[in-house]
Amino acid sequence: MKRTILHSDMNNCYASIELLHRPELRGKPLAVGGDPEARHGIVLAKDQLAKKAGVKTGMALWQAKQVCPDIVFVPPRMDLYLRFSRLAHEIYSDYTDRQEAFGIDESWLDVTESCSLKGSGEKIAEEISRRIKKELGITVSIGVSWNKIFAKLGSDYKKPDAITVINQENYKNIVWPLPVEDLLFVGRATKKKLNKLGIYTIGALAETDSDILKIHLGKVGMILSYFANGNDNTPVCYQDENAPIKSIGNSTTTPRDLTTETDVSIIVWLLAESVSARLREHHFVGNVVEISVRDKDLFSFTRQKKVSLSTNITSEIATYAMELFRANYNWQKPIRSVGVRVSDLQIDTAPVQLSLFSDQERRERYHRMDQTVDIIRKRFGFYSIQRGIMYQDRKLSALNAKEDNIVHPCGYMQRGNLTGVR
């Protein structure tokens, strides 16, 4: 049976939900994105008026203010957006149990089994669109196709409040003229490589010899060739199915520029606390510690190191992160964003080879201390216990990185099925 895949995308999700709850802001350019006074955050979403003025998702708040002086910023309310996401998934569940979220506002739906009862994929998409509008008060754009890649292209093709069907008869007319960067997984660097090969459209990518793509892009070139030709057989996951976690990290835009090592240390310790607490919560330890830094001119770098002993201990993660920072930053410019991540994860109960040169008793004491802090914070709140370094700058240390963090979905191809790609 030929698959029928939908990709549903809530239009301007955060901004639409805010306008639904703040009707007094209708008619004004609006963006969701943190606290403009504290400069904490970027534009997470914008309405149509802000979009027309040139505001883009991912833009720093001060940049958005420059291109649209009348813009109104509202802080994000993730609990509210997550509630709308859950309500949307309840509607989707009337049509399929194969639902794969791609963020809070996007989902793939495999409605193949429902078509015999509810009609074609297009008819099901129209019904979902009507229900979302009537029951939730927002709109969605939906792509309908036989694979996930083209279904997502369909939801992006017309916005807002639109349905686009991409089938095996029309995909060359709809998909192939699109710029190559519209294809999922073609980022800035990959686009540049493809452009150097004279490939500017998805159609040109589809018609390029896959061996040439493999030479210049490696395995990803073969994958993109399959995607461009509609040969993606990746399944849509079942609802609530969890993928393996490969890394855990936190990053933050700081409420003021960081100008000293002490400033950076405060933020790194806060982020390390968040990362280590989440590692312990999910019973993981990690073998690689990574730090990312962005200066005030938005130049960024990322560095990582393999650690000798797997860890989920706050002090070890923070120490490794600070070592990476000191070795790689020259303080030519102040810093406005820092991230800490731990990867190469394994279950914390897995047997490990102990080192003769490590103080295992000391490590166990630090681990028990972290567990005690977890218990106290769970019972009495995050700010009920803090490290002494946090009192050196209360503005910087006001961040609750663990509870403020948003966990993004797993990688697309973790369950991929691309026959022939090696």
Point out the annotated binding site: 9, 105
Strand partners, 55: none
With beta carbons less than 8 A apart as the criterion, state whether 310 and 287 touch: yes
Instruction: Tell me the three state secondary structure of residue 314.
Output: helix
13, 16, 48, 49, 143 from 54: Cα distances, Å: 18, 18, 10, 9, 26
Half-sphere exposure of 154 (CA within 13 A, CB side): 30
Assess contact for 397 and 231: CB atoms under 8 A. Answer: no
68 within 8 A of 116, measured Cβ to Cβ: no
Closest-CA residue to 409 (of 246, 168, 196, 265):
246
Query: Is residue 106 annotated as a catalytic residue, yes or no?
Result: yes
- The DSSP annotation for 82-151 comes to HHHHHHHHHHHTTT-S-EEESSSSEEEEE-GGGHHHH--HHHHHHHHHHHIIIIIS--EEEEEESSHHHH
Q: Which of 147, 184, 170 is nearest to 4 (CA)?
A: 147
Contact, 7 vs 152, CB < 8 A? yes
* Candidate list 18, 100, 106, 290, residue with the active-site label: 106
Question: Nearest CA to 145 among 162, 179, 116, 168?
Answer: 168
- Closest CA relative to residue 176, chosen from 194, 152, 150, 156: 150
Q: Which of 188, 146, 136 is nearest to 168 (CA)?
A: 146
List the end-to-end C-alpha distance of the chain, in Å, as a whole number. Answer: 27
Residues 6 or more apart from 258 whose CB is under 8 A from it?
Answer: 264, 267, 334, 335, 336, 338, 396
Known binding positions for Mg(2+) = 9, 105
- Residue 242 has φ and ψ, to the nearest 5°, of -100, 135
Beta pairing partners, 254: none
Beta strands 163-165; 140-145: pairing state: parallel
Phi, psi of 95 (to 5 degrees): -120, -25
**Which strands form 106-110's sheet, in the order they lie side by side?**
99-101, 106-110, 5-10, 140-145, 163-165
CA 90, 96, 102: angle at the middle one, nearest 5? Answer: 70
Active-site residue list:
106
